[in-house]
Structure 1
Amino acid sequence: MRGEIICSVLWVCVILANFESVECSSVNHETQQCISSGGGENETCFNGRAYEWEEYDEDNILGLDEGICNIDKVSSITNDMFLMQYAFDRPVIFTGVSDNTEFRRLTSRKALMEKYANNTITLSTANTHSYDKVDMSLKEYIERILKPQSVNKLGKDTLYFFGNNNYTEWNEIFKTYMQPPYSLPEKTGAYSFGIAAAGTGVPFHFHGPGFSEVIHGSKRWFLYPYEKMPKFDPDQNMLRWVLDEYPKLTKDNKPLECTIKPGDVLYFPDRWWHSTLNLKTSVFMSTFLG
């Protein structure tokens, strides 16, 4: 076979025909090592692909923009520095602070469908208050519901898998998750695991502090301090807000924002308004501190 496999930081492997030869040797039953004959760094690929979730996106069919990033990114600070500089005052993005390669492997589409397809999950509506809940199998959600967001579909009519996890059923993979090595005094973490389609997201809301990590895909975040409540419709979808309302914001009214990808962990302080937009089909884990 002639071709070149490029393994990007987003774990996307693209086959380009008629270039250099590539050898993919088997590492185990599910994982392949992508080895570039051009001398590039090796990356672990799932069956030669990006753990298969990218097949839903068709090269980002919605054409969603990553936008700017005006949130601090840090790769190595002490917990004391975190408490002094960020924990109570502003968001921050940690890069490369925990290795979730194994969790990423276990949350590939193939791995989840093989083990959890018939498990019942609880979906929430993707509006600010997430009032309505719907139970269905993971298989039905992935095969029937997990589609790119329609601009005209209201958030209150969009179903979204995030949280309400049965810890007993998910324990085998949850125990492999490496949460960020940072903490708040007298706070413990509770996990919320989710899978969402491109263009979906949750409108502005606030709650206690926490961390959010993208395992597959990419997620754009928008944040405001509590005293600077943004203008939004709690039942509208975030895609509509980004397309219609975001361009109208003046410089003084624009949010802190950034798109996070695998390897990034965003921390949001207590009672900060925030909303999210999944730019691609995304798998993610949040750790709520309470």
Structure 2
Amino acid sequence: MGMEMMGNLNQQAKMAKMQQAWDMKKSGTLPIMGKTGTSVFKTLAPEKKKTSDAEVKKRISKIKTKLKSGAKLGAADKAFLRKHAPELYRKVLALEKEREAYEERLKECKTRDEVEEAKLQKKGEMSSTMKDTDPEFAMIRMAQMTAAESEAAPSVKQKPWRYEIEQEEQQEKSEAVERLTEKELENRRQEKSREEGQWAGREEEAFSDERFKDMHIAAIRMMPYSELSDAAADYTKGQAAYQASAGMEGAELPEAETKKEKRG
């Protein structure tokens, strides 16, 4: 009984001393020295290191989960990877550049057909390198490329399909042909109208000329022979003046003039 009690007291004293030494070490008032202090340091220090490694792994796991969701990393996450996971950090930087380039390429496509072709090409690239890539990082890369497609989606939706462009071009050609046809028809109508107007004018001029001659011939026939000479002279002058004004110089004189010459 007494020995057991002594053992308990010694154990309690030992634990109290160890706790006191550790408290002094943390406060910086006294370094842990000696056999007991060394035992405390060796006992507690590995436990602290294990906790730190666990926290690093936990943080890296959270970062990977974020990448798998398609999210981008902030400055704090990248700084953490740079310090604790340099290889993963380099991969993440390269992945960011690939994502930005892919998103920009989708936005620069002129048609949605080109967008679909770019998507197929990207999937082919990832499939060809999947064997040489860490499976987990391959999932991360796929998620990041899918996120890039989602980012470019608003711009892609505004792009036409190739068949829509072809239909629009065909419609424009049809409208152009229709406008040209209407213009040609209008030009032909105007030309025909001008030709008809010119023909009507010539008929009217010819009709007026015939009436003029008939009227003068009738007047000559009713005149006395004594006045015929003077009338014939006046008629010749009038006819010449008329022909000159009408642009008919060189035309034959009326029949009455010919008869006058014969009578003379």
- TM superposition score category, shorter chain reference: under 0.3
What is the TM-score when the length of structure 2 is the normalising length?
A: 0.20
Q: Which has the higher strand share?
A: 1
What is the TM-score when the length of structure 1 is the normalising length?
A: 0.19
Relative contact order higher in (CA < 8 Å, ≥ 6 apart): 1
| Higher Cα radius of gyration | 2
Q: Which has the higher helix share?
A: 2
